[in-house]
A and B are shown apart, each in its own frame.
Chain A
Amino acid sequence: MTLNEQIKNMLVEGLNLPDVTEADIQDDAPLFGEGLGLDSLDAVEVVVLVQQRFGVTIRDMDEGRVALQSVNALAAFIERNALK
């Protein structure tokens, strides 16, 4: 399973998204607002899930704004920070 697939699995299972499958999530589609349609409180859940599943912490607004843009962006952030 690729990292992008793991992230999609995390989003679907971890957030318990109704009527959304991993195949429905585009790699470069926005996670929040339009796109997957997550809202700000979902960001809290995503941050916690990323920490639990990947051991990577999104620490602040600047990091989060970039990392939570899309699956691709989140994967890049995890790869970058998992190496540290």
Chain B
Amino acid sequence: MSSPSKRWNSRSLGSRFAHNIFYTAIRLGGRWPAYIMLYFVVAFYTCLPRVRERSAAYRHLRLGPRGPLQSWVDCYTLHMNFARTLVDRAVLGIRGEFWLEAREGHSQLLQALMARGRGVVVLTAHVGCWQLSMSSLEHIDAPKAVVMLRDHADVDRQYFEHGQNCGPGFSVIDPRGPLGGVLEMLEALRQGALLCMMGDREFGSENSLVDVTLLGRSASMPASAYHLASAAQAPLAIIFTRRTGPGRGQVWVEEVIEVPAGLGRNSSAYAPFAQRFADALTSYTNFYPFQFYNFFDLWTEQR
């Protein structure tokens, strides 16, 4: 996971100043002034071809061929949903308001996995209101760590970076650290932590990528989460979220994967597990096609 050569970036479209306007609006008036501003901001960005292009591969695979107008509307809908989740995240950080409903059995399943004492790899994707899924883990009495890579130009704050209403107790592991942070990740699992990772974006090393089929086409996905789960003999829980309305979302454990020990260093050994994640992601987009927020071409030839 060292020597990043990734295809995506987390650089914010808007400037720091523009973000601060939204944060101020939220502080003064709550979520609704920010939602209203989004109509203009999202329409502006959706008019830019280079911005629409970012999601073109996904929209083509998921929604099929569309005329120009329908394509613009699809793109606008996708951007608007994404922008609303960013507002929701800021509202949670600034005002402490977000209602995340856990599907039946979600918490009990996580508690049961934690009770094994080997930690849990929590694998999620850039879908729904994923940034807020961590808030559903706050009540679990265990150390928590999140693997997070941020670009310098990413000025959009995580909800726990707003300085109040935070305190989720997450430590952040930077995959650009020495040895890609893997020793910290392994140690977190040894200490029985919840280790949160993203399963749909690579952090750089081409050696950690495996080929999967996503939405019917070949794509590359990282194998590092499965590798860690195997080494630590920790269960891996795929957790998805969806935004259900203004300031509301739902979280659930989609699947639990047990990765056997002793699979070795060859990433291809982990491909079947990455495929299960890709299948879960494909199924997710069938239900919620406009809550998939990877704004780059996951399907480009990577190796």
Residues of chain A having any CB pair with chain B under 8 Å: 15-16, 32-33, 39-45, 47-48, 58-61, 64-65, 68
CA distance A60 to B182 in the complex (A): 10
Q: Which of B1, B179, B267 has a CB less than 8 Å from the CB of A64?
A: B179
Shortest CB-to-CB span from A35 to chain B, Å, is: 14
Q: Report yes or no: B265 in contact with A65, Cβ–Cβ below 8 A.
A: no
**Chain B CB within 10 Å, residue with most, of A44, A48, A60, A65:** A44
Q: Report yes or no: A41 in contact with B267, Cβ–Cβ below 8 A.
A: yes
Q: Which of A16, A33, A39, A60 has a CB less than 8 Å from the CB of B183?
A: A60
Contacts A16-B265, A40-B205, A41-B265: A61 and B231 contacting too (C-beta < 8 A)? Answer: no
Q: Report yes or no: A60 in contact with B179, Cβ–Cβ below 8 A.
A: no
Q: Report yes or no: A41 in contact with B208, Cβ–Cβ below 8 A.
A: yes
Minimal Cβ-Cβ distance residue in A for B223:
A41
Q: Which residues of the partner chain A approach B224 to less than 8 Å between Cβ atoms?
A: 41
- Further 10 A-B residue pairs, CB within 8 A, beyond A61-B181, A64-B183: A39-B180, A40-B2, A40-B181, A42-B265, A43-B180, A44-B231, A47-B186, A60-B183, A60-B187, A61-B179
Q: Report yes or no: A16 in contact with B182, Cβ–Cβ below 8 A.
A: no
Q: Report yes or no: A41 in contact with B183, Cβ–Cβ below 8 A.
A: no
Q: Report yes or no: B207 in contact with A44, Cβ–Cβ below 8 A.
A: no
Minimal Cβ-Cβ distance residue in B for A64:
B183
Q: Which of B187, B227, B265 has a CB less than 8 Å from the CB of A15?
A: B265
Q: Which residues of the partner chain A approach B264 to less than 8 Å between Cβ atoms?
A: 15-16, 45
* Number of B interface residues in the complex (CB < 8 A): 25
Q: Report yes or no: B184 in contact with A61, Cβ–Cβ below 8 A.
A: yes
Contact of B178 with A by CB under 8 A: yes
Interface residues of B in 242-280 (CB under 8 A from A): 264-267
Contact of B92 with A by CB under 8 A: no
CA distance A15 to B264 in the complex (A): 7
Contact of B117 with A by CB under 8 A: no
Residues of chain B having any CB pair with chain A under 8 Å: 1-2, 177-184, 186-187, 190, 205, 207-208, 223-224, 227-228, 231, 264-267
CA distance A40 to B2 in the complex (A): 6
Q: Report yes or no: B205 in contact with A41, Cβ–Cβ below 8 A.
A: yes
CA distance A39 to B180 in the complex (A): 9
Minimal Cβ-Cβ distance residue in A for B233:
A48
Q: Report yes or no: A61 in contact with B178, Cβ–Cβ below 8 A.
A: yes
Shortest CB-to-CB span from B260 to chain A, Å, is: 13
Q: Which residues of the partner chain B approach A41 to less than 8 Å between Cβ atoms?
A: 1, 180, 182, 205, 207-208, 223-224, 227, 265, 267
CA distance A15 to B184 in the complex (A): 21
CA distance A47 to B190 in the complex (A): 12
Contacts A41-B1, A65-B179: A60 and B184 contacting too (C-beta < 8 A)? Answer: yes
Minimal Cβ-Cβ distance residue in B for A45:
B265
CA distance A32 to B182 in the complex (A): 13
Can you list 11 residue pairs at the A/B interface with Cβ under 8 Å?
A32-B179, A39-B208, A40-B182, A41-B205, A41-B227, A43-B180, A44-B227, A48-B231, A58-B183, A61-B177, A61-B183
Shortest CB-to-CB span from A9 to chain B, Å, is: 16
Contacts A16-B266, A39-B205, A59-B187: A44 and B178 contacting too (C-beta < 8 A)? Answer: no
Q: Which residues of the partner chain B approach A48 to less than 8 Å between Cβ atoms?
A: 231
CA distance A58 to B178 in the complex (A): 14
CA distance A45 to B208 in the complex (A): 13
Q: Which of A15, A33, A44 has a CB less than 8 Å from the CB of B182?
A: A44
CA distance A48 to B231 in the complex (A): 7
CA distance A47 to B179 in the complex (A): 12
